[in-house]
Amino acid sequence: MNCKDCSLLLLDYHFDTLEPGERAQVDEHLESCEACRATLARLESSVPDQLSWPDEAPPADLSAKALERVGTELSRVPTLDMPVVRTPRAAARPAKRSPVRLAIKAVAACLLIGVAGWGWSMHHRRVALAASIDGQHTLSPGSLATLRAQV
């Protein structure tokens, strides 16, 4: 293990959340690397060991006090004496974007592009076939206009 890999694992090492194999590799590297040991020492002195903090339950009346405080704050908010205007539900709610609808639209777009490409291809095949029947192997702008006039 190199110093870069070790430095990425030092925080997990500090909180003892490494797998046993990784922890053994970090221990082995720390035995031979003074710089990583110094980094770990700085980390341990600056990051509190949160896993060792005792679990304290919140006060039993915390929710009652919070609700009371919210009620008093809401009573301070000035009210406007205006009628409530309700909007129709369809206008108030944005349109649903169903994945099924999106898939149907995507398939329809692909079919449209495919049919247009097929039509374009068939048109050019018909023009090429007509040109080969007439004995022309290449199409010039004049012969193309002639073929269009005949079709």
Q: Choose among 36, 28, 45, 48: nearest CA to 10.
A: 36
CA angle (16 as vertex; 13, 19 as ends), nearest 5: 80
Phi, psi of 84 (to 5 degrees): -85, 125
pLDDT digits (tens, 9 = 90+) for 139-150: 555 655 665 665
Q: Comparing 126 with 35, which gets the higher pLDDT?
A: 35
Q: Choose among 11, 6, 7, 8: nearest CA to 49.
A: 11
For position 61, what pLDDT does the model report?
A: 84
Spans of all domains in the chain: 3-50, 99-150
- How far apart, in Å, are the Cα atoms of 144 and each of 120, 130, 150? 15, 10, 10
For position 148, what pLDDT does the model report?
A: 61
For position 81, what pLDDT does the model report?
A: 67
Residue showing tokens 């999106």: 102
Query: Model confidence at 31, in pLDDT bands (50, 70, 90)?
Result: very high
For position 99, what pLDDT does the model report?
A: 81
pLDDT digits (tens, 9 = 90+) for 78-99: 666 666 666 666 555 556 677 8
44 neighbors 14 (Cβ within 8 angstroms): yes
Instruction: Say if pTM beats, i.e. exceeds, 0.95.
Output: no
